[in-house]
Structure 1
Amino acid sequence: MPVPSGAYGQHGGSPSCFDRIKVGFMMGFCVGMASGALFGGFSALRYGLRGRELFSTVGKTMFQGGGTFGTFMGIGTGIRC
């Protein structure tokens, strides 16, 4: 399926290396957030956290996991450029 000409910014054709790094980071960030929700949620429930403490802890774990995994996915995508 062909890519629309305006899908990657100002130029048509293939995306630039920076565009690929951004997409890699966002994919990694989403995967890291999902795994952070699972692992952080289970560990917070195991520690007996409820209510505001539970959401605060799970939110921090999600953003930490998303940032870490997104960074490594962005670096890996940049290496492949």
Structure 2
Amino acid sequence: MAYPTRPQEPTVWQKSKMGAMMGCGVGLTIGFIFGSYSIMRGGAGPRGFVATLSQYMLSSAATFSFFLAIGSVIRSDSVLPPHMEAARLQLLSPAIRSRADGAALIKARWEAEKRQH
């Protein structure tokens, strides 16, 4: 009998690369917007339009990609596999659960008490 396999979760390195690529795209866009505005407001300077705009875009892309890569790794860093994490969340005290989970738990307890009486 063949057991169904779960899709594999991306590795930490893959998550870091994905965060860096997203940050690079966002940084290039933000660098283009703010660089263009700065050039229109103050002029291109001695290096010229293209060199000044590319400096804005590349520095912004490097900054955004660095922080998004780190953020994606920190956010997805988990010691437990997903099925164990789900079990851990079920065993948390009711004070930590969400309002909907607490309401469902109370409703289930009331139903259990009704069946006992």
| Length-normalised TM-score, structure 2 | 0.55
1:30 aligns with 2:25: yes
User: How many Å separate the matches in 1 of 2:67 and 2:44?
Assistant: 30
> Displacement of 1:13 after TM fit?
1.8
Match in the other structure for 1:61: 56
For the aligned residue pairs, the C-alpha RMSD in angstroms reads 1.6
Greater Rg over alpha carbons, structure: 2
Question: Residue 14 of structure 1: CA displacement?
Answer: 1.6
Match of 1:75 among 70, 84, 89: 70
Cα distance in 1, alignment partners of residues 71 and 8 from structure 2? 22
Q: TM-score, normalised by structure 1?
A: 0.78
Distance 1:48 1:18 in 2: 41
Q: Secondary structure at the match of 2:51?
A: helix
Unaligned 5+ segments in structure 1 are 1-11
User: Whose RCO is larger (CA < 8 A, sep 6+)?
Assistant: 1
Shift of 1:77: 0.8
Identity within the alignment, %: 35
Give aligned pairs, total. Answer: 69
Q: Which runs of 4+ in 1 moved over 2 A?
A: none
Deviation at residue 45 of structure 1 after TM alignment: 1.6
* Deviations 1:56-79 (CA, angstroms, capped at 9, x unpaired): 101011000000011000010111
